[in-house]
Structure 1
Amino acid sequence: MTDPQHIMDHRRPARTRGTMAVLCAALLAGLLLLSGCAHLPQSGPVGTSDPLPGAENQVNYSFTPAGPAEDASPEDIIRGFLTAGTGTQDDYATAREFLTEEAAEAWNPEARTLVYNETPTVVPSAQDNQYEVQIEVDSVVDERGIMNRMPANTSEAVGFALTQEDGQWRIAQAPGGTMLESAQFRALFASHELYFYDQSYAYAVPDLRWFLNRSGSAADIVGALLDGPAPYLDGAVRTAFQAGSELSRPSVPVDAGSAKVDLTRQTVESADPLMRQRMQQQLELTLDGLNNVSSVEMSVDLNPLDLGSVADNFEPAQINPGVGSTQVAVANGELVYFEGDATVPVGGLQLDIDGGPVDPAMSLDGTRFAVLNGDRTQMVSAGTDGSQELELEGENLTRPSFDSSGWTWTVDHANGTRIMALQTSGQDEAPLEISAEWLGDRTVQALRISRDGTRAAIVAGEGESSHLYLSGVIRDSEGVPRGLGPPVRLEPTVPVSDVNWVSDQKLLVAATSSTSSVEAQLVGLDGSLDTLRPLLGMTGFSTGPGDNPIYAETAEAVHTLAGSTWRSQAGAVAHDMAFPG
């Protein structure tokens, strides 16, 4: 079975960093760049300059590749063209020198960017004057700045046709886009979050993109925002901008910290004051990541746009809201609140479950719970008001997950793989089966809904091979979940069987085991990976959005991550811990 589309690599630096951290990061990037440039010969110096507007805390590396050498062979012309893709100045003027006049005019360097780690190979094709560049692709960035991370050993053959002009070989047919070694890519591109809304407009949802470090990046970012969310978020998030929204001119000047966003009249003419305020907020959240932008001014035909008075039902959208520091856990066969290393029984509960409760989940307000029985064939909901309800019977049910709208999710494997969502607030409603055709025959081992309710992190696989997916949660106009959209795949480098949300842009994964040494890994939606120190016999882990530590469980103790070290918490006897959600 063909795996779904793959996802993103790295993202932009954090919004606040100390000066020393910035200098260290710049030095490291420079060292990586020099090592990366050794893969493909490159003439001309590589220099640095001050950060460009629109690239927050990014050092701008300028490449000055050489043009075609006299009497260069076809292979050298192709290699020179690939290298010249690092020279973005004057609309890739140097790269165009390797093309015929007609090809230079037609070539679109921004069609896509292939990112690789190993040196590409240039080989002749069977037809005269045609060649293939064989490349092992690490990731691909499309013209909208959307990065797809590729599985290991993904390769692509890219064709070129050459001809002679005035006795010199030139490229007559070249694919759109550029090819960059990964260090070159990190030097030339910066990642940035576009922000959309959840269905209720209560939460701001990040959509990570990659853009060239250049003075016009603010316009690139706004243009991408107006164009709408990435495919995996389509139908899961909302935007304040209607389809067809556009800038009136291809620039977003920044004057004294104010970004001037001039929109076409058609973009705003049908928007009421509430929607215009949401437009303003969406732009402010998105452009806040640029270090030269402190405010946003919307205009139409250069006339400031009147937003009107603040609408009564306008609420500032929350970014990465926390879940509190109190977990639910099991201790001595009953549910407890767990915080720090202390446990307190959950008052008001009247649970009666065969085999005792396992894999509990807790609502965001800490008053509702969903638990499985010992053999994971039943899911029971309970509240601090003493209510208890058998919600679902099945086979090999996965740990429940509450979303921000009060729905509780699990996966039933009684008849294939069925993703189920239930209202567990005491209402007598039948479980909903959520459409997710892309799962096919995959078995789901874990499913966790993001704090904003727009995305599902899923561990699923076939046979002994499991992978980590991210899928948008599609809801109807009433907020009822109906489906999981086509996913993207993230690429952790450790085995995975379980997943937790650390923030709105980071996940924690591991393949737990009571007998083996387990490596957990922090996986950024930008593709960044941070492998934690192994822990022998890790049977579970927990963390949650907000200023929360990472917890791990073994048969003997509860551990917290302190720096890079797991520290046992004396006296903590709880297990099956979970933060709200």
Structure 2
Amino acid sequence: MSALLCCGVVVLAGCASMPVTGDVKPVDASQPGDSQVQVYAVPPREGATPIEVVDGFLESMTSDDPEFMTTRKYLTEEAARTWKPSAGTTVLAKAPNRNGPSLGDKDRKRTEGAYTLTGEQVAAVDAQSSYQPLAPTDYSQTLHLVQEKRADGKREWRIDIVPDGLVLGQSDFRRLYRSVNKYYFATGLTNGRSTLVADPVYVRNRTDPVTRMDTATQTVRALLGGPTNWLRPVADSRFPIGTALKKGVTSLAPDDQNVLKVPLNRKADKVGRTACRMMAAQVFFTLRDLTSARVEQVELRGDRGQLCSLGADEAVEFAPDSGSGAPDSQYFVDAKGQVERIPGNSKGTGDPEPVTGPLGSGTVPMSTVGVARDEQLAAGVSANHQDLYVSSLVSDGELAEPVVTSRAKKPEDRLSAPSWDGLGDLWVADRDRAGPRLLRLVGGEGTPQEVTVPSLNGGRIEALRMSADGVRIALLLSKDGHTTLKIGRVQRRGPAERPQVSVEDLRQAAPQLTDVSAISWSGRSRLVVVGKEEGGVQQVRYVQADGSTSSSGVLPGVNQVTAVAAADDEQLPLMAETEDDGIVKLSPGDNWQTVIKAGSSLVYPG
């Protein structure tokens, strides 16, 4: 920071961390505090030169300036009145460069000038606080300056033409903002369940300069504003249109009984009890990991008092995690092509055992496996990648005929590993170059339905992973010699008994990784990704569902990873398949450990 900014108190915020370094060590198969520096802006000095005004303005945007009042002092009166800092945020790899004339003592007769801001844009955050990662793109904007006559009769350089929104370097953006999940109910599903879907946005780490709201209140305000444009076609809110926080509310925190009271305007006064409980569930899951004190109950209040309340035990009914209700087991294919299971209650340290049913007996060797989230059914792809089988995991019997068969001549052009969504449907990609298809089998049975993907743009699906909510899909797409990660929105149209399903609006995730080799959903709105940057080495890292990453998301300490597996429950170990150490795990608070020396296609349910 330059002398134009002064630093306030350093606040230390403790959080849990996971050690991810150290050697891989065999076991029987039987976050440190972040410093937050509050930065305050200072106004331009009397007689400031144009370059000082430009630099001061840019640096002031990185501050915690209330309502950006000091920042606006670098603008003309008209520009200060009309500038909208909340219109969005441009994120550059580094703080912007500025190029323009040096209007100093030799140019006293000049009354105007312009400076060009340049840089490498890596992301954009829109007015809905929705993050969009970008492949590095050239950025260029102009700031125009004039000499404005002040109230004391003196003329001072000020900026009169300025783009709306903020322009921040990546490091400042990460210091000032944090990713949070707000929750909405999925629409168009056929299972009759009210499924919550995470909708990630970015809010200020501390008090927002414009609204003066703390982080929790900003998040509730964003929740009440409805789903982001990307998620809106497949999710909606139970809050009536126009519902907002009561005027003047800038802070929300649980009381000493861990009850969070949310005062709403009169738009919410007439909601029924069922809708109100669903509204409270949206707030509960949005804030459950955000406040310093854990929320145990949400109470929605209107003009006439309490509308409804929802406790933690009641909120389970709406939990966004779809599964068996028991600790997830891990499943893998052994050297004989048989499917084995590591019991869920062992957290990856139990003795592997063949699964019940024909996939465990190995009558047909398998190459990959996918297990339904209720752990009743499994799907296996044959060793030659040609056939997809579905079998029970709770009863014995003969292996049924394959439900999908690829006609491709080469194994690498046949079937991908299968994946189950939280609705109980099975997904697989046929990579046949003569006719590639994305297929969905309702309940894992019946005639496969082809899912259209309009925006592939010549790419081929190499691998896929379905989210637990059933409305998002992570795809590895190969094109022009590279494999990249994209996330699509699953839309269902037409009759509920047989909807037309498509994957829409693919958006790039982790665009800095030019080659991605493995993916797995981890929790409600995050993926584990294995990939490389251009000319770089392999890395394992976390990526948010909106495609954003953090500098702390990289997991060092494991090499030559060929596959990863993570669970809906983020407290369960992260598993990885490696070339040298077999299948390894990373538990919270521990180092990587070898679990099984021989095995492949390790997965959690899903």
* TM-score higher than 0.5: yes
Equivalent residue for 1:400, pick from 386, 404, 418:
418
- Shift of the 354–173 alpha-carbon distance from structure 1 to 2, 3 Å rule, reads farther
Whole-Å separation in 2 of the counterparts to 1:131 and 1:506: 40
Work out whether residues 354 and 373 of structure 1, in 8 Å CA contact, stay in contact via their aligned partners in 2. no
Note closer, same or farther for the CA distance 1:306–1:227 as it changes in structure 2 (3 Å cut): closer
Following superposition, the deviation at residue 273 of structure 1 comes to 1.4
What is the aligned partner in structure 2 of residue 499 from structure 1? Answer: 519
- The match for 2:371 is 362
Matched, 1:45 2:6: yes
Could you say if the C-alpha distance between residues 176 and 51 of structure 1 is closer, same or farther in structure 2, counting changes exceeding 3 Å? farther
Separation in 1 of the partners of 2:263 and 2:100?
49
Q: Which residue of 1 aligns with 2:218?
A: 220
Matched, 1:432 2:449: yes
Residue type at the aligned position of 1:193: N
**Distance across 1 between alignment mates of 2:575 and 2:243:** 45
Amino acid corresponding to residue 328 of structure 2 in structure 1: G
- Residue 114 of structure 1, CA deviation: 2.3
Cα distance in 1 for residues equivalent to 2:253 and 2:461: 51
- Provide the rounded CA distance (Å) in 2 between the counterparts of 1:61 and 1:535: 35
- Evaluate the alpha carbon distance shift between residue 375 and residue 304 of structure 1 in structure 2; reply closer, same or farther with a 3 A threshold: same
Q: Decide whether the 8 Å contact of 1:364 with 1:404 is kept in 2.
A: yes
Matched ranges for 1:36-75 at <5 A: 37=1, 41-48=2-9, 61-75=37-51
Deviation at 1:59, TM superposition (A): 6.4
SS in 2 for 1:245: coil
Matched, 1:136 2:110: no
Backbone CA RMSD of aligned residues = 3.5
Classify 1:109/1:293 alpha carbon distance in 2 versus 1 (closer, same or farther; 3 Å): farther
Normalising by structure 2, we get a TM-score of 0.77
Q: Residue 90 of structure 2 aligns with which residue?
A: 114
Code of the aligned partner of 2:427: W
SS at match of 1:231: coil
SS at match of 2:403: strand
Alpha-carbon shift at residue 401 of structure 1 (Å): 0.3
Tell me which of 340, 353, 356 is aligned to 1:347.
356
SS at match of 2:358: coil
2:161 is the counterpart of 1:161: no
- Greater alpha carbon shift after TM alignment, 190-199 vs 314-323: 314-323
CA 1:291 to 1:80, structure 2 compared with 1: closer, same or farther past 3 Å?
Answer: same
Name the SS for the 2:439 alignment partner: strand
- TM-aligned CA distance change 1:81 to 1:177, over 3 Å: same
Q: Identify if the C-alpha distance between structure 1 residues 435 and 173 changes in structure 2 by more than 3 Å, giving closer, same or farther.
A: same
Contact 1:354/1:374 (<8 A) preserved: no
One-letter amino acid matched to 1:162: L
Q: Secondary structure at the match of 2:86?
A: coil
Q: After the TM superposition, which of the residue ranges 453-462 and 549-558 deviates more from structure 2?
A: 549-558
Matched, 1:458 2:490: no
- Match 1:179 to one of 167, 178, 181: 167
Q: Paired residue for 1:540?
A: 563
Q: Provide the C-alpha distance between the structure 2 equivalents of 1:95 and 1:265, rounded to a whole number of angstroms.
A: 35
Mapped pair 1:510 → 2:527? no
Is 1:421 the equivalent of 2:440? yes
Compared CA separation, residues 481 and 510, structure 1 to 2 (3 A)? farther
Question: Deviation of residue 63 (structure 1)?
Answer: 2.0
Give the paired residue count.
Answer: 526
Distance across 2 between alignment mates of 1:509 and 1:50: 32
Q: Where do 1:156-555 residues align within 5 Å? A: 156-166=139-149, 167-199=155-187, 202-212=194-204, 213-214=206-207, 215-217=212-214, 218-249=216-247, 251-254=249-252, 257=255, 259-269=260-270, 271-288=271-288, 289-291=290-292, 294=295, 295-301=297-303, 303-307=304-308, 316-320=317-321, 324-339=328-343, 340=349, 342-349=351-358, 356-383=365-392, 384-386=395-397, 388-394=400-406, 395=408, 396-414=414-432, 415-426=434-445, 429-475=446-492, 478=496, 482-491=501-510, 493=513, 495-510=515-530, 519-525=539-545, 526-528=548-550, 529-536=553-560, 538-546=561-569, 547-554=571-578
Corresponding residue for residue 81 of structure 2: 105
The verdict on how the C-alpha distance between 1:350 and 1:285 changes in structure 2, with shifts beyond 3 A counting, is: closer
Are the equivalent residues in 1 in contact too, given 2:241–2:267 (CA < 8 A)? no
Letter of the 2:426 partner, please give it. Answer: T
What letter is aligned with 1:206?
A: A
In 2, the alpha carbon distance for the partners of 1:328 and 1:316 equals 31
Q: 1:309 to 1:202 in 2, by over 3 A?
A: closer
Q: Output the CA distance in 1 between the equivalents of 2:310 and 2:90.
A: 47
Q: Deviations over 1:89-138 (max 9, x none)?
A: 3311111111111111001111112233424222249x973332112223
Q: Which residue of 1 aligns with 2:601?
A: 576
2:585 is aligned to: 561
Match in the other structure for 1:15? none
The C-alpha deviation readout for 1:495-533, integer Å capped at 9, x for no partner, is 312211232233222269xxx995433334451331333
Q: What is the alpha-carbon distance in structure 2 between the residues aligned to residue 545 and residue 243 of structure 1? A: 32
Residues 259 and 293 in structure 1, CA contact (< 8 A), matched pair in contact too: no
* Contact 1:398/1:445, CA 8 A, preserved across alignment: yes
Alignment of 1:146 with 2:130, yes or no, is yes
Q: Secondary structure at the match of 2:125?
A: strand
Structure 2 CA distance for partners of 1:104 and 1:318, relative to 1, 3 Å: same
SS at match of 2:234: coil
Superposed displacement of residue 465, structure 1: 1.5
- CA–CA distance in 1 between the matches of 2:172 and 2:563? 39
Q: 1:290 to 1:487 in 2, by over 3 A?
A: farther
Deviation track 1:348-377 (CA, whole Å, cap 9, x = no partner) reads 327999973211111123231212223323
> How many Å separate the matches in 2 of 1:364 and 1:180?
42
SS at 1:154's partner residue? strand
CA distance in 1, matches of 2:439, 2:241: 32
What secondary structure is seen at the aligned counterpart in 2 of 1:157?
Answer: strand
1:425 Cα shift?
4.4
Per the TM alignment, residue 411 of structure 1 is displaced from its structure 2 partner at its CA by 1.2
Q: CA deviation at 1:44?
A: 4.0
Q: Secondary structure at the match of 2:402?
A: strand
Partners in 1 of 2:361 and 2:143 — Cα distance?
A: 70
User: Which residue number corresponds to residue 19 of structure 2?
Assistant: none
Mark the CA change 1:129 to 1:186 in structure 2 (over 3 Å): closer, same or farther: same
Deviation at 1:544, TM superposition (A): 2.3
1:101 alignment partner AA: E
Letter in 1 for 2:224: L
Kept in 2: contact 1:194–1:206 (CA 8 A): yes
Q: Is the 8 A contact 1:350 1:388 kept in 2?
A: no
Choose 176-185 or 559-568, whichever is displaced more.
Answer: 559-568
Contact 1:330 1:358 in 2 (8 A): no
The answer (yes or no) to whether the contact 1:507–1:523 under 8 Å persists in 2 is yes
One-letter amino acid of the structure 2 residue matched with residue 139 of structure 1: A
Q: Report if the CA contact (8 A) 1:65-1:84 is conserved.
A: yes
- TM-score calculated relative to the size of structure 1: 0.80
Aligned partner of residue 487 in structure 2, secondary structure: strand
Separation (CA, whole Å) in 1 of partners of 2:243 and 2:176: 28
After superposing the two structures, state which structure 1 stretch, 494-503 or 273-282, moved more: 494-503
Q: Distance in 1 between matches of 2:177 and 2:580?
A: 47
Q: Tell me the distance in 1 between the aligned counterparts of 2:479 and 2:496.
A: 34
Unpaired stretches in structure 1, ≥5 consecutive residues: 1-36
> Is the alpha carbon distance of 1:102 and 1:321 closer, same or farther for their aligned partners in structure 2, counting shifts above 3 Å?
same
Shift of 1:277: 0.7
* Residue 28 (structure 2) aligns with: none
One-letter identity of the residue aligned with 1:274? T
